[in-house]
Chain A
Amino acid sequence: MRLSNVRVLAGLAAAITSLTVVQSVTAQDWLADRKRSEGAGIRVGDFELHPGVGVEVGYDSNVFFSDGSATSAVPVASPILRVTPHLSFSTLSATREAEGEAREGAGAGAPTVQFRGGISASYYAFFADEARNNVGLDGDLNLVILPDRPFSITLHERFTRVVRPFTEQRSIGGSDRRLDFGRNENDAGVDFSFGTPGRVLAGTAGYSLAVGFFDGEDFQFANSVTHNFRAGASFRFLPQTALVYDFEGQYRVYPSFAPGTSPTLLSNGFNLRTRVGINGAITTRLSLSAMVGYGAGWFDARDDFDSVVGQAELRWQATSNFRLSLGYDRNFRPSYVGNFMRADRAYASAQLLLAGSFMLGAEASLSLLDFGVPVLGSDVRTALGSNPDGSVSRSDVRLSGSIFAEYRFTNWLGVNATLRYTGDYTDYRYIITDAAGTVLDPAGYSKFEGWLGVRAFY
């Protein structure tokens, strides 16, 4: 079997087992997962390159997340064209080395340095006039010094630019200007890893600095600088299980925020989360992740947060081609409304691979979201909105579900389709003043998306 075939099949099989843990801000699942976006690759010395491009046409039923009620902005639906060239690069992968493609001049043992990097750009062309065409970007670099050693250092850098709208675009003061929804974030940091031979005991400690900034003048108030401190440890035992611990501290400031310039109060604050649990196999078919801990957020103004946080996920590898996951998590994170948002989420996902060339995935989640009391940026005593019963706290129910399918004609060409629904159900209404005067604008929304695309990758 040719190397390219081996790599593609291995990638597909690995994708089946990794789909549930892929976390990314990129819109396309296949782009977020390197195992699926990389083919045989091109070897250049001790490096390998993986170019690719995807062309998709889609439809978004609610580009600006409008509620659709009489007092909200009119929902805008739009066909969308999305073109995404991408390139990833790395030192020789383990797969190549396993196939006997040794590094030049390399002896036995792990290399001194390993790195992976990638860059992609997604051009969005909205056929509806209300939305701006724009280009999203995603670039990352991960450099590991002394990999697979008792002590190693990892330097990482990631830049993301997301351009799709995230809130309503209303007529302000009678004008119909189009908002710029570009959001950019750069996260750079270092991690130090320690481990015994065989990684039975392992630990990490690291720091990163994240800078988030918006393109549009209307959202400059939300620019942020975040210092992230993290640490973790694991103790591994048979069969393939580990006791794990992690800690995360986060200090976030909003340097551009000033009273009167923001629709909502943003407060600098320190967030802490620490968890302990177990992660790994129960039987040859079942595996489990279960963690519980404590989370707290202290903010300069208004509400603080503290509560139990945790996560539990049960995975069933029914066959080598089918995997089912069920999970629940409880978390909190900083929010632009109400300082923080607590989320209780239940979810399920399933992946199926047929005949080595057809992949089918489905996932669904139901979240209960509770916010700190949102208040106006100009007056910390005035609520940002209210519920029909007069209360000013905000609670949402978010429902989302998606189905993804991909068929690969060859090792480098595939066609895919995605259907997705996202709905946010809440009674909360923002108090909005625009061309129509002061209105109560429901904060909920409901949207469908459908995508059909073809992609080539090598």
Chain B
Amino acid sequence: MFASRFQTVVRQLGGTRYAVTLALAALLAGGGIALAQDRSGSSPEDDASADVERRANLTGPEQLAEAERIETRANQISRRVQQMLDEARRERDILRVTCLNDKLTQINANARTTSTRGDALREAVQMNDDARRDHEFTVLTVLGQKFRTLEQEANQCVGQDIFETGTTRVETSIDPATPDEDTSAVLSYPEVPVPFIPPPASVSM
């Protein structure tokens, strides 16, 4: 609407060639502004939807290739988290084991779904069922995003070390005025200065 009014104004100015040029420039400028506004105001969820919609426009073979990439990626993430879990078990880090185990369970469940959906996609492509193909591919794309989220969460699993304070160090300060005594030195009894021995003359008794 804004562009047609602009063209009307230009015609009224009598310059057709100039009018077309200005109109194109205005459209480009307006579109650029609109695109910039969209991008700056979009959420990750919006991006994901746009991504899914964009990928849904792929051809069947392209969707199959993308599906295989998602499946491969799912298997890689599963193996990697499994290794992290094994390491946590070796370190007997129970908190990290629990967290990674939960993530791995979700990853494996989603991987099985991915495999099933991949089979369904291949079947739809073979049957040239575009509607079903697009649906299965959309599900696979969402699953791919789910894998990224689970991978990030697995990386964020924290261990005991975050709760541990490390080697305890105790610093003791004693008032300098405290008596400086060897407390382990037990008070001893005094020696008898002079032994009690009767005069030797009494030996004659």
Contact = CB atoms under 8 A, between A and B. Distances in A.
A331 B177 CA distance: 33
B202 to A, nearest CB: 4
B198 A218 contact: no
B165 interface: no
A102 B172 CA distance: 27
A234 B202 CA distance: 47
A261 interface: yes
A364 to B, nearest CB: 13
A264 B197 contact: yes
B198 A264 contact: yes
A434 B201 contact: yes
Which bracket fits the contact residues of A? 35 or more
Nearest to A290: B187
Contacts of B203: 218, 261-263, 377
B163 interface: no
Interface in A344-401: 345, 371, 374, 376-378, 382, 384-385, 400
B202 A430 contact: yes
Contacts of A169: 199
A234 B198 CA distance: 41
Main SS of chain B's interface residues? Answer: loop
Contact of A23 (B179, B183, B188, B194): B188
B184 to A, nearest CB: 4
Contact of B195 (A172, A183, A242): A183
Interface in A269-300: 275, 277, 279-281, 284-285, 287, 289, 291
B179 A240 contact: yes
Contacts of A422: 193-194
Given A280-B181, A333-B192, A172 B186 contact: no
Given A240-B183, A291-B186, A263 B198 contact: yes
Contacts of B193: 25, 400, 422
A225 to B, nearest CB: 16
A315 B180 CA distance: 12
Interface in A424-458: 430-434, 441, 443
A25 B198 contact: no
Given A23-B190, A23-B191, A261-B203, A430 B198 contact: yes
A246 B185 CA distance: 10
A10 B5 CA distance: 104
A211 interface: no
A323 to B, nearest CB: 9
Contacts of A167: 197-200
B17 to A, nearest CB: 92
A241 B174 CA distance: 12
A170 B199 contact: yes
B45 interface: no
Contacts of A242: 183-184
Contacts of B195: 166, 183, 222, 336
Contacts of A240: 174, 178-181, 183
Interface string A242-272: 1010100000000000000111100000000
A317 B198 contact: no
A25 B203 CA distance: 27
A284 B180 CA distance: 9
Contacts of A73: 199
Contact of A17 (B177, B181, B197, B202): B181
Contacts of A337: 196-198
Nearest to A331: B189
Contacts of A171: 201
A73 B200 CA distance: 12
B199 to A, nearest CB: 4
Interface residues of B, number: 31
Contact of B200 (A172, A280, A281): A172
Given A289-B187, A291-B186, A433-B205, A281 B194 contact: no
A166 B192 CA distance: 11
B167 interface: no
A279 to B, nearest CB: 5
A284 B205 contact: no
A199 interface: yes
Contacts of A277: 186
A287 B185 CA distance: 13
Contact of B181 (A262, A287, A291): A287
Nearest to B196: A337
Contacts of A376: 205
A262 B198 CA distance: 10
Most B CB atoms within 10 A — which of A170, A183, A281?
Answer: A281
A311 B197 CA distance: 26
B200 A17 contact: no
A443 to B, nearest CB: 8
Interface in A155-176: 166-173
Contacts of B191: 23-25
A371 B196 CA distance: 10
Contacts of B178: 239-240, 281, 284
B183 A335 contact: no
The 6 nearest A-B residue pairs measured at CB:
A242-B183, A218-B200, A263-B202, A284-B177, A168-B199, A434-B201
25 contacts: A21-B188, A24-B191, A170-B199, A171-B201, A172-B204, A234-B186, A236-B183, A244-B183, A244-B186, A263-B199, A279-B183, A279-B184, A279-B187, A280-B181, A281-B178, A284-B178, A287-B179, A287-B181, A335-B196, A336-B198, A341-B192, A345-B190, A374-B198, A382-B205, A432-B198
